Structures are given as C-alpha cells and as structure tokens.
Homo-oligomer: A and B are copies of this chain.
Amino acid sequence: MSPKALDYESLNENVKKVQYAVRGELYLRASELEKEGKKIIFTNVGNPHALGQKPLSFPRQVVALCQAPFLLDDPNVGLIFPADAIAKAKHYLSLTSGGLGAYSDSRGLPGVRKEVAEFIGRRDGYPSDPELIFLTDGASKGVMQILNTIIRGEGDGILVPVPQYPLYSATISLFGGSLVPYYLEETANWGLDINNLRESVAHARSKGITVSIAHAFCLNNKITNLDIFWNSEAVRAMVIINPGNPTGQCLSVANLREILRFCYQENLVLLGDEVYQQNIYQDERPFISARKVMYDMGPPLSNELELVSFHTVSKGYWGECGQRGGYFEMTNIPPKTVDEIYKVASISLSPTVPGQIFVGLMVNPLKPGDISYDQFIRESKGILESLRKRARIMTDGFNSCRNVVCNFTEGAMYSFPQIRLPPKAIEAARRLGKVPDVFYCLKLLEATGISTVPGSGFGQKEGVFHLRTTILPAEEEMPAIMASFKKFNDEFMEQYEDHRGYSRM
C-alpha cells in the first residue's frame, strides 16, 4: 500500500526542510534534563516572564476587568481595582462588539488600530492610517503572512541578515522560497556594510547565476559562498531586524538611509522587524523606525518604497509573550494588495482579542496625572534599567572568558558571543557528527544547566562559532550564571587547546 498522507515520507517537503533552532536539539535536550530533575536556565528564547519578570500591573488589571465585565457592576470592584483601570476597561470594551469573546474584524478592532496609528504618528512625526494596520497574534504571525503573500516559489529570494532570527529561515523554507543572506559585520559591532552588499550584488550579477540557497542554508546551517546565491531578478524583499536579533545592534540613521536607498534602487520590499524598539541599552543610538527615516528622505522614495513594519507586546518592558499581541503597518502597499492580505487574514477569522487589548495598552499608555501612572513608570523603568545592567554584566562576563569575544548588547534581549573553538574541539565534535557549536552548547547545558542556542541556528560565517543567550535571567542570579559559564568555558578550552604541547586523557 502506498504511504498515507501523514506518513513522514509523503509529507510536504517544505515542512521537512524547515529548521527552527530556537526550539531545536538544545531545547529538546534541556526539556529532557528538566524532566529528570536538573535545574535548567532557559535562555534559549526571549521569554521574560518565564524567567521571573513580573507583568506590569495596570495593563493586567485592565485586561482582567475586560475578561470579567460583570465586575464593573460590582459595588466592591473599587476595593481591588484602581479607578483608571476600571475606566480603561470600559473604554476597550466599548471598542468591541461583544467583549473579548467575540471575533473582531480580521484586521483587529478598528478602535485599537486607531490607537496604533496615533502612536506611530507621534513616534515618527508622520501620520499613519489605521486601515493599513493589521493586528496579529504576535509579530511572527504577521511576518509569516507577509512572506506567504510575497513568496511564489523557490525562485523568489528574501534578503535576510546573517546572523538572523530563525523565524525568517524557517518561514521561507515553509513557503518554498529562497533565503538570500547578507552578512552583518561582527568587527563593526554587527553593523551592515552597504558597500560590501553592493559589491556582492555587482559581482553576482556579473556571473548571472541563480541558485536557490534555502535548502543548502537550512540543511547545513552554514553558507559557504555568498556569490552564487544572488540574482537581482529573483530577490523580492529585504528583512532588517532593528534592534538586532541575535546580534543586539541598533542601526544608525545613516545605515537606515543606505538600506532604504538600496531597497529603492533594487526594487525590494523592506520588512522592518522592529519588535525590540523599546529595548535600548545605550544612549548614542536611540531607536529610529525605518518608516520615519523613509519619510524624512522624501519623494520619490517615500512615496514608492514598499515597507511593512512589525511590532509586538512580547518584548519591550512588557514581555507579554503568552498573550500573543502584535501588529504590522503597511506603507506604500497598493490597496488591491491590502485587500488580498485582508482576505487571507479572514480565513483564521480574528486575532486574539485580549492580545489586541494589550496592543492598545502598549501604544496608548498612562499619562502623568493618572492614578496608576507612577506605579506604571516605576515598574517599566525598573525592568528596562535592570535589563541595561544585565546586558553589561553579560557582555563583560563573556569577554572575561578564554577564547570568547562579545559585542555589547546595544538593544534587544540577546548576547551573541563568538566562541573561538580550538581545532581539537572541532575535531571532537565532527567525530560525534555534531556541528561544533552544537557540541559546545550541549556540553555547556549538561555541565551548567544553561540552555542556549548554537550560532549555527542563526547562520554564521564558515569556521566561526557563536552562541545566543538572552539577557533575561534575574539580575541577582546573573553573576552566578556568568561564573558558572566561565568555569565551564575555561575548563573546556583547557581541555581542547593543545598549545601546551601535551595531551590529556
């Protein structure tokens, strides 16, 4: 009998090609160890509440009241909820037609989309249109929907920064497109060197070669030769992640202008993953949106460049990952395309309504004078200041380790140290059939319980190794974690370095 449709050998090949390292081999092994009773520090995914970050009180009060609207008529409600939370809950309930239990419009509640538009207008200094804002179940779902709209087949390439967040490689594989990498420059604090990008383009064009690379990229976790992947006809869009994941850099205005000009000249849609826009840990380069820079540059670019920007309640000082709130905003996208995106969003009916309320609360926060304002500021500042300290502790910690170098985390939630693995370690890994950084990270996990993601899951230059960790473990636990890391690392290096001229057992 021929295989059935859900037998492994007959599944959609694109599904099989997907690799998703953030919850890959390391995560699975960590879950096993946890079941066996080992204490695991999950730094594999940016999941702040799982590591003890407390939710902001005010938004939770509002959403709790929206969930239980009958409380609004309870004479005792004022004993446990502040008046501004009660007022805000009434406001959001008035934006729904049937409360949190009713499907909203598939683009999200019109009233919340209006609040998002006002937020974007204030942030950028240019008004935004609610009709071009779609609320989503977290930013990832929005990215997936836009890529599904763009990708027609493996001839369609998407420029993605390497190291990259595996959402992109996985989604591009799933929809059968091709990932076209561009390298971030580690020695320039993970900046994007547009001249290198242009040179690669010119060089590749002169060769005129079209090769689908998603397969090679995803199966081998490495890219051996950028040149052969580029074909200007095939490339349809470019992704930027600002602040960077996993690399933590904040793009400068100058860099953003170069990127926008490049996309305009090359006729590329720009996808701006800006989910970490509130996570900034230095003062030299504040977050600035691709949209603002684009409008500042003026026409024709500002009228023509197709831009989709993404944001979420999962990051920032909110960290409300489990609520699945997010949005994307479309700029210069033709109305017929917006209609198509709306139609496809309709298939799954409605994003989560509680998640939409969180989006509203994020973009339309408390103002000075509101009863809960001081508490809100205290809580949110506390989180951001602590993250800034943790970014510093972590970078310094990594840089104190043998054969480890690490750029400072300017923004986002991750540290991405380079691990200079000695040849003997690489050899030992290969003997076990492991990618060398996977080998290192597994040993780290077994020795210390620290669950990281190997750099190969994000892409890296041939022969260079990294790991990604979040900066999210509690501030007070951070010194111990870094000490534990250092002890493991330095012993590992001791074991595998052979410059001492003797070998160990």
Verify if A298 is at the interface (C-beta below 8 Å from B). no
Q: Across the interface, do B349 and A5 meet the contact criterion of CB distance under 8 Å?
A: no
Provide the A45-74 mask, 1 if CB < 8 A to any CB of B, else 0: 101111111010100110111011011001
Tell which of B79, B80, B101 touches A323, judged by Cβ atoms closer than 8 Å.
Answer: B101
What B residues does A138 contact at CB under 8 A?
348-349
Q: Across the interface, do A149 and B336 meet the contact criterion of CB distance under 8 Å?
A: no
Q: Across the interface, do B51 and A98 meet the contact criterion of CB distance under 8 Å?
A: yes
What B residues does A6 contact at CB under 8 A?
149-150, 269, 306, 308, 330, 333-334, 337
Verify if A144 is at the interface (C-beta below 8 Å from B). yes
For the complex, count residues of A whose C-beta is within 8 A of B: 100
When A8-B336, A15-B344, A60-B67 are in contact, do A99 and B352 touch as well, CB less than 8 Å?
no
Q: Across the interface, do A324 and B80 meet the contact criterion of CB distance under 8 Å?
A: no
Q: Across the interface, do B70 and A57 meet the contact criterion of CB distance under 8 Å?
A: yes
Provide the A357-398 mask, 1 if CB < 8 A to any CB of B, else 0: 000000000000000000000000000000000000000000
Give A318's nearest chain B residue, CB to CB.
B101
Please measure, in the bound complex, the distance between the C-alpha atom of A16 and the C-alpha atom of B343, giving whole angstroms.
9
Q: In the complex, which of the residues A20, A101, A237, A344 has the most CB atoms of chain B within 10 Å of its own CB atom?
A: A101
Give A97's nearest chain B residue, CB to CB.
B50
Copies of this chain assembled into the complex: 2
Verify if A152 is at the interface (C-beta below 8 Å from B). yes
Q: Across the interface, do A67 and B63 meet the contact criterion of CB distance under 8 Å?
A: yes
Please measure, in the bound complex, the distance between the C-alpha atom of A319 and the C-alpha atom of B100, giving whole angstroms.
11
- Interface hit among A167-175, A403-411, A415-423: A167-175
Verify if A187 is at the interface (C-beta below 8 Å from B). no
Please measure, in the bound complex, the distance between the C-alpha atom of A171 and the C-alpha atom of B93, giving whole angstroms.
32
Q: Across the interface, do B64 and A68 meet the contact criterion of CB distance under 8 Å?
A: yes
Provide the A135-170 mask, 1 if CB < 8 A to any CB of B, else 0: 001101100100011111000100000000001001
Please measure, in the bound complex, the distance between the C-alpha atom of A233 and the C-alpha atom of B99, giving whole angstroms.
47
Verify if A479 is at the interface (C-beta below 8 Å from B). no
Tell which of B18, B137, B324, B349 touches A343, judged by Cβ atoms closer than 8 Å.
Answer: B18
Verify if A447 is at the interface (C-beta below 8 Å from B). no
A198-251: which have CB < 8 Å to B?
233, 236-237
Verify if A4 is at the interface (C-beta below 8 Å from B). yes
Q: Across the interface, do A267 and B4 meet the contact criterion of CB distance under 8 Å?
A: yes
Verify if A340 is at the interface (C-beta below 8 Å from B). yes
Verify if A346 is at the interface (C-beta below 8 Å from B). yes
A1-19: which have CB < 8 Å to B?
1-2, 4-8, 10-13, 15-16, 18
What B residues does A65 contact at CB under 8 A?
64
In the assembled complex, the CB of A337 is this many whole angstroms from the nearest CB of chain B, namely 5
Please measure, in the bound complex, the distance between the C-alpha atom of A55 and the C-alpha atom of B151, giving whole angstroms.
41
Verify if A321 is at the interface (C-beta below 8 Å from B). yes
Q: Across the interface, do B7 and A323 meet the contact criterion of CB distance under 8 Å?
A: no
Verify if A22 is at the interface (C-beta below 8 Å from B). yes
Tell which of B12, B137, B267 touches A352, judged by Cβ atoms closer than 8 Å.
Answer: B137
What B residues does A344 contact at CB under 8 A?
15, 18, 174
Verify if A354 is at the interface (C-beta below 8 Å from B). yes
Provide the A309-344 mask, 1 if CB < 8 A to any CB of B, else 0: 000001000111111100000100110110010011
Please measure, in the bound complex, the distance between the C-alpha atom of A354 and the C-alpha atom of B60, giving whole angstroms.
12
When A7-B337, A8-B334, A99-B49 are in contact, do A322 and B352 touch as well, CB less than 8 Å?
yes
The 6 closest A-B pairs by CB, nearest first: A322-B353, A49-B98, A5-B236, A50-B98, A49-B101, A64-B68
Q: A23-B106, A47-B98, A64-B64 given. 10 additional CB < 8 A pairs?
A: A5-B268, A15-B148, A15-B340, A18-B343, A50-B102, A53-B98, A63-B68, A76-B80, A323-B354, A352-B355
Q: List 29 A-B contacts (CB under 8 A).
A: A4-B269, A4-B306, A5-B156, A6-B149, A6-B333, A7-B337, A10-B236, A11-B150, A20-B343, A23-B346, A45-B103, A48-B101, A53-B98, A55-B100, A60-B67, A63-B67, A64-B64, A76-B76, A77-B80, A101-B318, A101-B320, A101-B322, A101-B323, A167-B347, A170-B347, A321-B349, A321-B350, A322-B350, A323-B353
